[in-house]
């Protein structure tokens, strides 16, 4: 093997190793990126589910207590957990009892059922 062939062989081997290394490094980054994105996706989904659950709960609770459910729903939609805390303290306080007419929960101090309109 002359000097030139040896240099070419070493250069070729170096190039091969370098490319393989880059490929592995690239794959590692892609895997890490995919992992991070999956994690972020799962977190987003959980947060979305929690937000929807909170909004549904606030809507139903506001309706049961004879307040404006749509307004509270909008507030909680835009303010999230802060809106929920505000709602929790501002909402009409009292015990929910079943309506004698439709059986749905209502605030016991309401003169009329917010669901069916039956007088107490
Ligand atoms: Zn009712």
User: What's the pLDDT at 32?
Assistant: 85
38 CA to centre of own chain? 14
Q: How far is the centre of ligand 1, averaged over its atoms, from the C-alpha of 81 (Å)?
A: 30
Instruction: Determine contact, residues 120/66, Cβ cutoff 8 Å.
Output: no
Retrieve residue 72's tokens.
């509270």
Which residues of the chain are modeled with pLDDT < 70? 1-2, 6, 9-27
Query: What is the reported pLDDT for 15?
Result: 66
- Give pLDDT, residue 21: 57
Q: What are phi and psi of 77, to 5 degrees?
A: -60, -40
> Looking at residue 78, what is its pLDDT?
94
Distance between CA atoms of 111 and 101, rounded to whole angstroms? 13
- Ligand 1 centroid to residue 13 C-alpha, Å: 82
For residue 19, give both structure tokens: 């490319």
Question: How remote is the CA of residue 110 from the centroid of ligand 1, in Å?
Answer: 11
- CA of residue 86 to ligand 1 center, whole Å: 27
The tens digit of pLDDT for each residue in 17-42 reads: 556 555 555 667 888 888 889 999 99
The pTM (predicted TM-score) of the whole model is: 0.68
What is the rounded distance in angstroms from the CA atom of residue 50 to the CA atom of residue 20? 44
| Bridge partners (DSSP) listed for residue 98 | 105
């Amino acid at each position: 093997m002359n000097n030139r062939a040896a240099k070419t062989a070493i250069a070729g081997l170096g190039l091969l190793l370098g490319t393989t290394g880059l490929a592995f490094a690239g794959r590692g980054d892609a895997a890490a990126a995919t992992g991070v994105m999956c994690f972020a996706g799962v977190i987003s989904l959980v947060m979305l589910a929690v937000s929807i659950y909170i909004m549904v709960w606030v809507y139903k609770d506001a309706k049961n207590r004879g307040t404006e459910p749509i307004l509270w729903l909008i507030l909680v939609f835009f303010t999230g957990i802060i809106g929920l805390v505000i709602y929790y303290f501002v909402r009409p306080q009292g015990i929910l009892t079943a309506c004698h007419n439709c059986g749905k929960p209502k605030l016991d101090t309401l003169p009329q059922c917010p669901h069916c309109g039956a007088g107490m």
